[in-house]
Structure 1
Amino acid sequence: MSVGMAAPRAPFSCDPDRSRGRLVAEPPSRTRSAFRRDCDRVIHSTAFRRLKHKTQVFVFHEGDHYRTRLTHSLEVAQIARALARQFGLDEDLTETLALAHDLGHPPFGHAGERALDRCLERHGGFDHNAQALRVVTSLEQRYPEFDGLNLTWEALEGIVKHNGPLHQPIPVGIAQFNESYDLELGSYASLEAQVAAVADDIAYDAHDIDDGLRAGLFAVDDLKEIPLIAAMIGEIDRHYPGLDDIRRGAELVRDLISYLIADVAAEAAARLDRAKPMSPHDVRRHGAPLIGFSAEAAAAEKTIKTFLWHHMYRHERVMKVMREAERIVVDLFERYRNDPAALPPEWRDGHDGEGECARRIGNFIAGMTDRFALTEHHRLFDSTPDLR
Structure 2
Amino acid sequence: MTAAPYASDPRRSRGRRHPEPESPTRSVFQRDRDRIIHSGAFRRLQYKTQVFVYHEGDHYRTRLTHSLEVAQIARSICRVLGLDEDLAEALALAHDLGHTCFGHAGEDALHERMAPFGGFDHNAQTLRILTRLEKRYADFDGLNLTWETLEGVVKHNGPLVDAQGKRRRGAGPLPVAILDYMGEQDLELATHAGPEAQVAALADDIAYNNHDIDDGLRAGLFQLADLRDLPLVGDVVAAVERQYPELERQRMAHEVVRRLINRMVEDVLGETARRLAALKPGLVEDIRHHGAPVVAFSPEMQAQDRALKEFLKARMYRHDRVNRMTSKARRTVRELFDLFLAEPDCLPADWARRAEGSGTPRTARLVADFIAGMTDRFAIEEHARLFDVSVHT
Same fold (TM > 0.5): yes
Q: Which of 102, 107, 112 is matched with 2:101 structurally?
A: 107
d(CA) in 2 for partners of 1:33 and 1:246? 41
Determine what percentage of the aligned residue pairs are the same residue. 57
d(CA) in 2 for partners of 1:133 and 1:233? 40
Q: Which of 21, 25, 32 is matched with 2:19 structurally?
A: 25
Q: Which of 247, 253, 274 is matched with 1:243 structurally?
A: 247
d(CA) in 1 for partners of 2:157 and 2:174? 13
1:193 maps onto 2:187 in alignment:
no
Alignment correspondent of 1:55: 49
Deviations 1:142-201 (A, max 9, x none): 000000000000000000000000022211111110122100001000000000000000
Deviations 1:351-387 (A, max 9, x none): 4781111001000000000000011100000289xxx
Give the partner amino acid of 1:376: E
Check whether the contact 2:276–2:294 (CA below 8 A) recurs between aligned residues.
yes
Q: Which of 329, 334, 352 is matched with 1:325 structurally?
A: 329
Alignment correspondent of 1:211: 215
Q: Which of 372, 382, 385 is matched with 2:388 structurally?
A: 382
1:157 maps onto 2:163 in alignment:
no
d(CA) in 1 for partners of 2:118 and 2:184? 19
Q: Which of 333, 347, 366 is matched with 1:343 structurally?
A: 347
Alignment correspondent of 1:91: 85
Deviations 1:23-54 (A, max 9, x none): 00011111100000000000000000000000
Alignment correspondent of 1:305: 309
1:255 maps onto 2:264 in alignment:
no
CA RMSD for the aligned pairs?
A: 1.2
2:183 counterpart SS class? helix
2:14 counterpart SS class? coil
Larger deviation: 232-241 or 285-294? 232-241
d(CA) in 2 for partners of 1:159 and 1:383? 42
1:24 counterpart SS class? coil
Q: Following TM superposition, by how much is the alpha carbon of 1:231 offset from its aligned partner in structure 2, in angstroms?
A: 1.0
Give the partner amino acid of 1:366: A
Give the partner amino acid of 2:74: A
Q: Following TM superposition, by how much is the alpha carbon of 1:225 offset from its aligned partner in structure 2, in angstroms?
A: 2.0
d(CA) in 2 for partners of 1:188 and 1:59? 34
Check whether the contact 2:355–2:362 (CA below 8 A) recurs between aligned residues.
no
Q: Following TM superposition, by how much is the alpha carbon of 1:347 offset from its aligned partner in structure 2, in angstroms?
A: 1.0
1:123 maps onto 2:117 in alignment:
yes
Q: Count matched residues.
A: 378
Q: Following TM superposition, by how much is the alpha carbon of 1:72 offset from its aligned partner in structure 2, in angstroms?
A: 0.2
1:98 counterpart SS class? helix
d(CA) in 2 for partners of 1:373 and 1:383? 16
Give the partner amino acid of 2:106: G
Give the partner amino acid of 1:345: A
Alignment correspondent of 2:164: none
d(CA) in 2 for partners of 1:61 and 1:82? 32
Check whether the contact 2:155–2:193 (CA below 8 A) recurs between aligned residues.
yes
Larger deviation: 225-234 or 257-266? 225-234
2:294 counterpart SS class? coil
Alignment correspondent of 1:356: 362
Give the partner amino acid of 1:175: L
Check whether the contact 2:356–2:362 (CA below 8 A) recurs between aligned residues.
no
Q: Which of 369, 375, 383 is matched with 1:369 structurally?
A: 375
1:225 counterpart SS class? coil
Give the partner amino acid of 1:192: E
d(CA) in 1 for partners of 2:67 and 2:356? 38
d(CA) in 1 for partners of 2:233 and 2:268? 17
Alignment correspondent of 1:222: 226
d(CA) in 1 for partners of 2:378 and 2:333? 11
d(CA) in 2 for partners of 1:225 and 1:241? 19
Give the partner amino acid of 1:182: D
Give the partner amino acid of 2:339: R
d(CA) in 2 for partners of 1:185 and 1:39? 23
Uncovered stretches (5+) of structure 2, i.e. residues with no partner: 162-166, 168-172
1:35 maps onto 2:14 in alignment:
no
Question: TM-score, length-normalised on structure 1?
Answer: 0.96
Alignment correspondent of 2:132: 138
Give the partner amino acid of 1:373: A
Deviations 1:275-296 (A, max 9, x none): 0111111111011000010011
Alignment correspondent of 2:170: none
Q: Following TM superposition, by how much is the alpha carbon of 1:22 offset from its aligned partner in structure 2, in angstroms?
A: 0.2
Check whether the contact 2:344–2:363 (CA below 8 A) recurs between aligned residues.
no
d(CA) in 2 for partners of 1:180 and 1:138? 12
Q: Following TM superposition, by how much is the alpha carbon of 1:227 offset from its aligned partner in structure 2, in angstroms?
A: 2.4
d(CA) in 2 for partners of 1:383 and 1:330? 19
